[in-house]
């Protein structure tokens, strides 16, 4: 089976992660020291060491055990993989959305991302974090196909649209229609804002995102209510560049809000 060696190495590292971590901390370590450090029996220690030696992850010389260079590399590779999978495991819905975006996204770019969700203990932490990005930025670009925005966020963003922040947001027709029906006063805010604009695209927008000066934030919404339920954000430069490329893709396939409203009214 293709890749079997890699699969077996990954399984070995995951199963023996505690021992490998102990070996990584010391240039050399004895079986007795491993017993005390890990609280394993001598038989368990010996069994694990044999497995790791057979996998060429460690070497034993004169009773002292150490990671091989190969072992150190594989250990770091598996840790990187687990870190990449961390966000995927918490938000598989976001991973699915990113998979069908018109500009390819490398999921590994989310390895260091922060996942924030509203909880009964702190129901506003997600909103507070999101609004914090708006307070610390001079420009925002984004795209959305879901119109539901909590009223407190709408009120907080009104002064931003009046000139304090440069905003370029791309919406689907359905999202824009529902948004302006719910918040009719926001139409003039967008139309008259000197540095704010909405563009309308007929292209599907699978992932809702906002890219700030130094941060990319994805908002994950509930399928039934449409309300945001998680915020995933990262300062990875490559992820931010991806968001700019995706925004340009939508810009090339969109029209201004004014043009869309004229067409809609005529229709």
Measured distance CA(234)–CA(1) in Å, rounded = 36
* Residue 229: per-residue pLDDT: 87
| Domains of the chain, first to last | 4-78 (1.10.10.10), 91-266 (3.30.870.10)
- Using alpha carbons, select from 239, 217, 220 the residue that is nearest to residue 133: 217
Please give the angle made by the CA atoms of 154, 240 and 141, to the nearest 5 degrees. 35
- Using alpha carbons, select from 109, 105, 108 the residue that is nearest to residue 245: 105
> What's the per-residue H, E or C state across 213-240?
CCCEEEEEECCCCCCEEEEEEECCHHHH
Instruction: Walk along the chain (267 residues) and give the pLDDT tens digit of each residue.
Output: 556 888 888 889 889 999 999 999 888 899 999 998 898 899 999 999 999 999 999 999 999 999 999 999 999 888 877 777 778 888 899 999 999 999 999 988 998 899 998 888 887 899 899 999 998 899 999 999 998 888 888 888 888 887 778 999 999 999 999 999 998 888 888 888 788 899 999 999 999 999 999 999 999 988 777 788 899 999 999 999 999 999 999 999 999 999 998 888 766
Tokens representing residue 14 in the block: 């995951």
Tokens representing residue 147 in the block: 């119109």
Tokens representing residue 136 in the block: 């610390």
Residue 68 near residue 27 (C-beta atoms within 8 A):
no
Measured distance CA(237)–CA(215) in Å, rounded = 8
Residue 113 near residue 140 (C-beta atoms within 8 A):
no
**The model's pTM:** 0.75
Measured distance CA(142)–CA(247) in Å, rounded = 7
**What is the torsion angle, in degrees rounded to the nearest 10, for the CA atoms of residue 181, residue 184, residue 187 and residue 190?**
-110
């Amino acid at each position: 089976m293709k890749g079997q060696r890699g699969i077996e190495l990954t399984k070995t590292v995951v199963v023996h992660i505690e021992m490998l971590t102990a070996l990584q901390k010391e240039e050399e370590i004895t079986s007795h020291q491993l017993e005390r450090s890990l609280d394993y029996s001598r038989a368990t220690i010996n069994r694990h060491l044999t497995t790791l030696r057979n996998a060429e992850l460690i070497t034993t010389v004169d009773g002292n055990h150490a990671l091989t260079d190969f072992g150190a590399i594989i250990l770091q590779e598996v840790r990187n993989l687990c870190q990449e999978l961390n966000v995927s495991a918490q938000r598989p819905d976001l991973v699915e959305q990113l998979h069908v975006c018109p500009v390819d996204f490398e999921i590994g770019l989310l390895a260091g991302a922060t996942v924030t969700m509203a909880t009964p203990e702190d129901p506003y932490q997600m909103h507070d974090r999101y609004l914090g990005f708006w307070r610390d930025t001079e420009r925002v670009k984004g795209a959305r196909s879901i119109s539901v925005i909590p009223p407190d966020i709408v009120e907080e963003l009104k002064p931003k649209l009046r000139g304090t922040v440069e905003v370029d947001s791309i919406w689907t027709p359905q999202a824009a229609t529902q948004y302006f029906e719910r918040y009719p006063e926001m139409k003039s805010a967008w139309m008259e804002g000197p540095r704010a604009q909405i563009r309308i695209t007929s292209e599907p927008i699978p992932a809702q995102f906002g890219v700030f000066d130094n941060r990319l934030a994805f908002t994950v919404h509930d399928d039934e209510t449409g309300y945001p339920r998680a915020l995933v954000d990262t300062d990875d430069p490559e992820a931010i560049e991806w968001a700019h490329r995706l925004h340009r893709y939508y810009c090339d396939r969109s029209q201004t809000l004014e043009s869309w409203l004229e067409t809609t009214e005529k229709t």
